[in-house]
Amino acid sequence: MTKKYITLILYGLIVFYGIIRAISSLYYRWFYISIALVFLFISIFSIIIKNFRWNFPLHLGISFIFLDLTFKKTSWNYLIDFFSKIDYRWVIPIVLSVWANLIFRGLKSFLLFPEGKVKISHLIEAVSIGFMVNNILPARAGEVVRAFIIADRSRLSKSYTLTTIFLERVIDGVALTCFFVILILTASFDKSRFAIYSYIAVGFYTIFLIITLLFYFFKPKFERIIIKIIHIFKLPFEERLRIFLDRIYDGLHLFKKPYILILFFILTLINWSINHFVIWLCCRSVNYFHLVGITNVSSYIGSLLLLLLICFAISVPSGPGGAGPYQYIVQLTSVAMNPAISLNSKLISISAGFSIYIWLVQSIPLILIGLIFYLKSGYSIKSFKSVKD
């Protein structure tokens, strides 16, 4: 019930935002009133209808708020003019880099599984379809789909494959935190406004890593504590939890071979370096930093900052591909590097256009390659639900 109450509060905030924007808007008042009414009715339905699926529209509502914040000061003439300035020849290396990084991630994840249990081709297939789903459905649903595909192809349990993805995300976070620390130490612009992000990142991923290590090296004690909590609250799933924890433990086999763990971390750093290269190519294709007057930050540092904050932004529950938070953080980061952007209609429009461009030029290739793998795989949406644990 707590989750439902939180969801209703979030719906209420979306309705409140629509009303405030309707009051302050001169030309789009009825549009915002319509948005507020739609989400008001959805929140009412979620109360009346017991099994109402409220998460999908909620994610869309969150995306709407962030997109509106991004584009509310935009001049559409300047926005359209921005897209005419892009050198689209750069799109080819951008797309190839996106695809190469996707394949590289599949190859890297091979280290997470016991030898002979899963084929590299199946991992590349699963990663490709998973990223496609992330870009067409909200709430990072592709991670679950990816785990289901690997479980089905390898006959491993879903718990096991989900654990490997969890471990991969933890190491991703540690790698991103390393990049963030380097950025904070080397960047020449005012870093105080980004310090809170680095503290949150370091704290969040450090806690996850510590919990994971404690569970692996002190499993019996860790398990006893959890069982005691279950007894206190009289929860009826002790045996199922024991089985689940055993499968999670099996999925953490990477810690048995520290040299494999180190190799995986090195490959993760390379993986994110390619991601950084993609963002840099996007900036270079339109000479973005010159266009918006960012002169105190090099394109290398600026694109690294964009990458890091985009990664944190898309972790916010939202629509497909992180739409909304993605665009907002790109614009917010640009304004942080040059505060004059927020005071100039042309510059704020360029930053809004760039946020759409950089999102599309990465999302569309991921959707296309994922769709190819999906059509070749023979899977359907129903088949993902039918994979046995």
Q: What is the mean pLDDT of residues 339-361?
A: 94
pLDDT single digits (tens) 193-206: 566 655 666 677 67
> Where do we find the tokens 């020849």?
89
Residue 388 has pLDDT above 60, yes or no: no
The pLDDT value given to residue 287: 92
For residue 222, name the pLDDT band (cuts at 50, 70, 90).
confident
Residue 233 banded pLDDT, cuts 50, 70, 90: low
Q: What digits encode the pLDDT tens for the residues 304-339?
A: 889 988 888 888 888 888 999 999 999 988 988 888
With 0.75 as the threshold, say if the pTM is over it. yes
Taking Cα atoms as reference points, which of 256, 250, 264 lies closest to residue 156?
250
Burial of 80 (0-12, 13-18, 19+ CB in 10 A): exposed
Quote the pLDDT of residue 180.
77
With 80 as the cut, is the pLDDT of residue 229 above it? no
Cα dihedral value 23, 28, 32, 33, nearest 10: 70
For 119-131, give one letter per residue: b (16+ CB within 10 A) or e.
eeebbbbbbbbbb
pLDDT digits (tens, 9 = 90+) for 127-153: 999 999 989 887 677 888 898 898 888
Instruction: With a cut of 80, say whether residue 246 has pLDDT above it.
Output: no
The model's pLDDT over 150-164, given as tens digits with 9 standing for 90+, comes to: 888 887 777 778 878
Backbone angles phi, psi at 28, to 5 degrees: -120, 30
Of residues 97 and 112, more confidently modeled: 97
Mean pLDDT of 60-69: 92
Is residue 55 within 8 A of residue 139, CB to CB? The reply is yes
| More confident: 80 or 259 | 80
278 versus 182: the higher-pLDDT residue is 278
pLDDT of residue 348: 95
Q: Which of 75-89, 110-124, 181-195 has the lowest mean pLDDT?
A: 181-195
